[in-house]
Amino acid sequence: MDFDSSHSPNSLALMMESAPATTDEISSLEIAGSSPISKEVIPRTLQGWMTSQARSLTEQKVEEIRRILGQYRGSRQILALQDFPDPDALSCAWAYKLIAQQYDIRCDIVYAGALSHQENIALVRLTGLPAQRWTPQVLKEKDWSAYQSCVFIDNQGTTTQLMPYVQQAGLPIAVVIDHHASQGELKAEFIDLRPQVRATATILVQYLQAGLLSFNTNNSEHVKCATALMHGLRSDTNSLMQAQEEDFLASAYLSRFSDAQLLNSILYASRSKRVMDVIERSLRNRVLQNNFSIAGVGYLRYDDRDAIPQAADFLVTEENVHTAVVYGIVHDEDEELEVVIGSLRTSKLTLDPDEFIKEAFGQDAQGRFFGGGRSMAGGFEIPMGFLSGFNENSEYTRMKWEVFDAQIKQKLFRLINPENDIISTI
């Protein structure tokens, strides 16, 4: 983690002094936001909630976005999320929708892939987050002429299948707000890209602080949206452990409106009983060698495939373990398909998950690798080919698992412990 020397150690103390301390002060700020004296009141109050660089940028951006929103007053916008939206994307889209509503802009939040992580499903269900999934079928049938412009939040249009449809419909890109590095040239009327910020939620919260929308604790939609933003901010910063000053200040502001109990239920719901069962199996079956923890968990339903990375997350927390690999056979009953899915988690800085997985499992007949990774994490997917498909015979099913289990272990242990092949082929 890098510590920026420009961060003043006294800035937190300054914040405590100048930040509004009671909700009464907040409501006077809300009133001030629409009155002629707002120019004087808001910057002074913001001093406590934002670093000085963030403050001047935010003020400039808020002025710009107000103008753009004004131009689109009374129109309809499509807000495209990445195909597998995460809490940061979902919550920011909601905050934007509420902002746009003030300009009579109707904004539809749409994603074309799926909500695959239980935590994300819980977030959407528990807060009533207004996001819609458009399947490929729906995409083709949609009347795109209903929309006048398009918005990308927490993405730049490169991670969504909606992009070609947006282009085909000739929709102008009105707004892009993101914290990922620039994905190439982008033509949009309003762009706020801040790769140095850890979560898009931090940017949206700064807009709120600058008066673009006043959250009110008596408005349940505001409370739920603030809770969603808090979850988004936490999940993009590894529970604030990678958060920087700006992110902390944004979450401090959100804590005035967010519902701790609701946030708790979102996090609690993230581990269903079935996920717990998979974690239990991974604990029972794990084999420890050279600080690696390797666990096969047998068969899983397609909907539970996210339990595998969650089990790997858990196993890597054991004392003296730096790397965990968890795998299982995932079967999709509808498609009669079976595939081996695995996840790797490591805390060892010198272990490159991408390299490790590529070396362990190699390539298929077409030369494609069975998996890869990024920093600290990786995954693999091995099709079962001719052996794929559910069989009523439990003895056969057990044998099939044992063969795959032995093969995967053999490949992993060759890398982990080259001198000692623990699985003998004789």
Task: Name the site residues for Mn ion (rule: CB under 5 A).
Answer: 88, 154, 200, 236
Closest CA to 318 of 299, 340, 295: 295
For Mn ion, the closer CB: 234 or 305? 234
For Mn ion, the closer CB: 200 or 343? 200
CB of 102 to Mn ion, least distance (A): 24
CB of 236 to Mn ion, least distance (A): 5
For Mn ion, the closer CB: 88 or 304? 88
For Mn ion, the closer CB: 155 or 293? 155
CB of 93 to Mn ion, least distance (A): 11
Contacts of 139 (CB under 8 A, 6+ apart): 112, 161, 162, 165
For Mn ion, the closer CB: 211 or 232? 232
CB of 232 to Mn ion, least distance (A): 7
Cα 173 to Cα 189: distance, rounded to the nearest angstrom? 7
CB of 72 to Mn ion, least distance (A): 24
How would you list the strands of the sheet with 149-153, edge to edge? 131-133, 106-111, 76-80, 149-153, 173-178, 190-193
For Mn ion, the closer CB: 162 or 408? 162
Q: Which residue is nearest to Mn ion (CB)?
A: 88
Contacts of 379 (CB under 8 A, 6+ apart): 309, 341, 342, 343, 344, 357, 371, 372, 373
Helix (H, G, I), strand (E, B) or coil at 38: helix
CB of 197 to Mn ion, least distance (A): 9
Over its C-alpha atoms, the chain yields an Rg (Å, rounded) of 24
Torsional class of 417: left (φ above 0), alpha (ψ -120 to 50), beta (otherwise): beta
CB of 195 to Mn ion, least distance (A): 11
For Mn ion, the closer CB: 200 or 293? 200
Q: Decide if 243 contacts 230 (C-beta within 8 A).
A: no
DSSP codes, 239-290 = TTTT--HHHHHHHHHHTTT--HHHHHHHHHTTS-HHHHHHHHHHHHH-EEET
